């Protein structure tokens, strides 16, 4: 008994998804030639730089945060719950943005949404005892007392 003959693979036409993926892969520019004119292009550059740095095992391409002007902004009135009259220096530097400004409580500001999100997450955790179904007790965070009061202003 011999082996059965190998089946010939039938050439099928590529699907629409495969064609789209091929054109998207061809459209990718080298990292040195990438334009940096929009928030999306900065994100794509940072993704490509991270992959290239990991592949090279050294930091040849530094991550570039997008300028503050490209980020969508929110108009807010800033307030502090812990020290209501003291100004707060806000420094946030990551792959998305480099933001360094001093905010005075009670004033209105146009702040990028990622900074507003960062400030709204800050707070003091409140720990509490919780009773488990088996009768034991465990501590956990029940909620956070917000550190800042950020009021959104919708008027133009």
Q: Is residue 3 part of a domain?
A: no
Structural domain that includes position 132: 68-152
122 neighbors 146 (Cβ within 8 angstroms): yes
The per-residue pLDDT for range 2-32, each reduced to its tens digit, is: 676 666 666 678 788 888 878 766 666 778 8
| 33 against 146, higher pLDDT | 146
Q: Is residue 9 part of a domain?
A: no
State the total domains in the chain.
2
Asked if 107 and 38 sit in the same domain, the reply is: no
Phi and psi torsions of 12, nearest 5°: -105, 155
The per-residue pLDDT for range 67-124, each reduced to its tens digit, is: 999 999 999 999 999 888 999 999 999 989 999 999 999 999 999 999 999 999 999 9
Average of pLDDT values for 45-60?
A: 92
The C-alpha atoms of residue 54 and residue 59 are separated, in whole angstroms, by 8
């Amino acid at each position: 008994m011999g082996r059965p003959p190998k089946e010939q693979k039938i050439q099928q036409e590529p699907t629409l998804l495969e064609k789209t993926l091929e054109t998207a892969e061809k459209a990718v520019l080298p990292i040195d030639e990438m334009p940096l004119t929009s928030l999306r292009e900065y994100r794509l550059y940072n993704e490509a730089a991270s992959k290239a740095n990991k592949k090279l095992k050294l930091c040849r391409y530094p991550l570039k945060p997008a300028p503050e002007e490209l980020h969508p902004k929110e108009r807010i009135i800033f307030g502090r719950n812990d020290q209501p009259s003291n100004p707060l220096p806000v420094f946030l530097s990551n792959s998305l943005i480099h933001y360094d400004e001093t905010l005075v409580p009670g004033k209105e500001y146009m702040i990028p949404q990622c900074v507003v999100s960062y400030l709204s997450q800050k707070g003091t955790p409140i720990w509490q005892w919780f009773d488990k179904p088996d009768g034991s007790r465990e501590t956990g965070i029940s909620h956070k007392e917000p550190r800042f009061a950020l009021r959104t202003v919708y008027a133009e």
